[in-house]
Chains A and B, each alone.
Chain A
Amino acid sequence: MKTWKRLHDNPVLWERYFIREKVIRAVRSFFEKEKFHEIETPLLIAHPPAESYLDVFKTTLLDRKRRKTAAYLSTSPEVPLKKLMVAGLGDCYALTKSFRNMETQSNLHNPEFTILEWYRIGADYFDIMKDCEKLLRVIAGADTLTYQGHPIRLKAPWERITVADSFKKYAGVDFDVFLDKKQARVIATKKGYKIEPQTTWEELYNQIFLNEIEPHLGQGRPTIVYEFPAAVAALAKKKASDPRFAERFEFYIAGLELGDAYSELTDPVEQEARFKNELREIKRLGKTSYDYDHDFIDALKAGLPTCSGIAVGVDRLVMLLTDTTDIADTLFFPASEEFPLLE
């Protein structure tokens, strides 16, 4: 049944759907107090950021003579915000829609979703952790919330654990050993995971993380997992004292991954090399391909100030506050209703 019909039959449901507007208002008031600029970033773009794990929506822009130009729907507001920081904008955020293809049949994904990204100039990722702690309390309007019957204490400081420590604690894996590609296959095989010739290190890393670690995260209080292996943090700055790791964190509440943060890469040479690498990977995987944004590399050459930022899934925040387990239950018009074949 369509959501509007369910609302028509059962008006008590409105209460749940109105939580979204409260979340959005709380986000805006938080950043207004923090003196951030809110930026409207374009949704129709010429060059998506090169990220091999995302599938983009491709469309065609026509001029008045019907000449065609490839156009894409934005996968995140990151690049336009960074260009404006190069131009001197300062602390900023965008609360906008983003689009990612091939993310159907999931309780946690809708092909178009609401994303919140904010960037702090002169900050590192530890500063962004503090922002998250403050913002969540403002959004929840309380120090605790209950999700699926489990109370969550939002008070700072949240639990902080490195990826390496989480592997030790929950999976019994020595991460120094696991970083070696051959050793990782041995460890995963012993644990009973299937290794096929095409299986990558990144897949084994994520499979162990998803099966053995993620279910423990954010239980009772939010968890910040930080210091990711460089191989799974393509847009983050490497840790100066140990380049095997990058300054990236994710935060979890009740097993839900809500945000992904970096100390941002500011080096144009390394950024361009990573983009080229990602584009090769996109071609190899047979995904919708495109050219990277040369203008963004030019901007980095002009100098992106040291900054840190985060992308937060607003729909998942709404799930948390409405105590729902399906993203579709937070949307008036979920994609699964618009496109019934997707179910």
Chain B
Amino acid sequence: MSTITTSDFTKSTFIEFKGEPYQIVEFQHVNPGKGSAFVRTKLKSLKTGKVQEFTFKSGESVTEVPVVTREMQYLYKEGDNYVFMDNTSYEQFNISSAMLGNYVNYLKPNDVYQILVNGEDAVGLRFPKKVRLKVTEATEGSKGNTVSGATKTVIVETGAVVTVPLFIKEGETIAIDPETGTYLERA
């Protein structure tokens, strides 16, 4: 375990907080009116998947939890767990839906993902900023109604529903931000 400071924080930094392992899932610098700087974080417990907020003093030191990234294939969903396999060692790992958050909507079976492992446990998945998915169901956008008709919803190959501009057609591939589920561009 090594000591880091708030300036080393990234969205996939794992830290010890009040004696438990957490992932930093969001962080923001805040400057209270006429005050020194702070870092506001959202921390996800690696044990329960629950997210809580905590504001650190800028420059405060924390203990980093060691996490390695391993490439694994997504196999299937079993109850509340998602099963991944390391194709070189054939070890299988379960990740709960609470740990995967929004990402579960964009997982494709057989695709290879970067899985974060802490000791014996898979603790998360490093999703890219964009995922490219094929539109499998789309209606024609109604023309003329520029206020409510400027967007429509489509279904992509993983079954997720995405709000997109009118010009997106069935069979096209679109890029989505897997964190927020928002449409980014035509891929």
Contacts and interface: CB of A to CB of B under 8 A. Distances in A.
Interface in B36-81: 36-38, 40, 53-57, 60-62
A209 interface: yes
Contacts of B144: none
Classify the secondary structure of B's interface with A.
strand
A196 B35 CA distance: 18
Interface in A242-286: 250, 257, 260
Contacts of B147: 12
A12 B141 CA distance: 14
Contact of B146 (A11, A106, A107, A260): A11
B29 A196 contact: no
A53 B151 CA distance: 44
Contacts of B18: 192
B172 interface: no
A103 to B, nearest CB: 6
A53 B29 CA distance: 14
B57 A106 contact: no
Contact of B36 (A206, A250, A257): A206
A203 B165 CA distance: 46
Contact of A10 (B37, B60, B165): B165
User: In the complex, which range does the number of interface residues on chain B fall in?
Assistant: 20 to 34
A257 B56 CA distance: 18
A206 B38 contact: yes
A105 to B, nearest CB: 5
A77 B145 CA distance: 45
Nearest to B32: A206
A235 B33 CA distance: 12
B170 interface: no
A91 B114 CA distance: 61
Interface in A199-248: 199-200, 202-203, 206-207, 209-211, 215, 232-235
Interface in A100-114: 100, 102-109
A202 B37 CA distance: 11
Contacts of B34: 51, 53, 232-235, 260
A105 B60 contact: no
A211 B55 contact: yes
A236 to B, nearest CB: 9
B30 A203 contact: no
A202 B146 contact: no
Contacts of A202: 35-36
A11 B33 contact: no
A317 B60 CA distance: 31
A102 B36 CA distance: 12
B187 interface: no
Given A207-B55, A210-B38, A257 B33 contact: yes
A9 interface: yes
Contacts of A341: none
Given A106-B30, A207-B55, A1 B185 contact: yes
Nearest to A257: B33
Contacts of A10: 150-151, 165
A109 B31 contact: yes
A209 B33 CA distance: 12
Given A200-B36, A206-B38, A106 B29 contact: yes
Interface string A165-207: 0000000000000000000000000001010100110110011
B57 A12 contact: no
A207 B165 CA distance: 43
A148 to B, nearest CB: 14
A1 B36 contact: no
Contact of A203 (B36, B61, B62, B185): B36
Interface string B66-99: 0000000000000000000000000000000000
Contact of B31 (A9, A53, A209): A53
Contacts of A106: 28-31
Residue from the set B29, B56, B57, B62 with the largest chain A CB neighbour count within 10 Å:
B57
Given A192-B18, A206-B36, A107 B28 contact: yes
10 contacts: A12-B151, A105-B29, A194-B61, A202-B36, A203-B36, A206-B32, A210-B38, A233-B34, A234-B34, A260-B33
Given A9-B165, A12-B146, 15 more contacts: A105-B27, A105-B28, A106-B28, A106-B30, A106-B31, A109-B29, A194-B57, A203-B57, A207-B56, A210-B32, A211-B53, A215-B53, A232-B35, A257-B32, A257-B33
Interface of B: 18, 27-38, 40, 53-57, 60-62, 146-147, 150-151, 165, 184-185
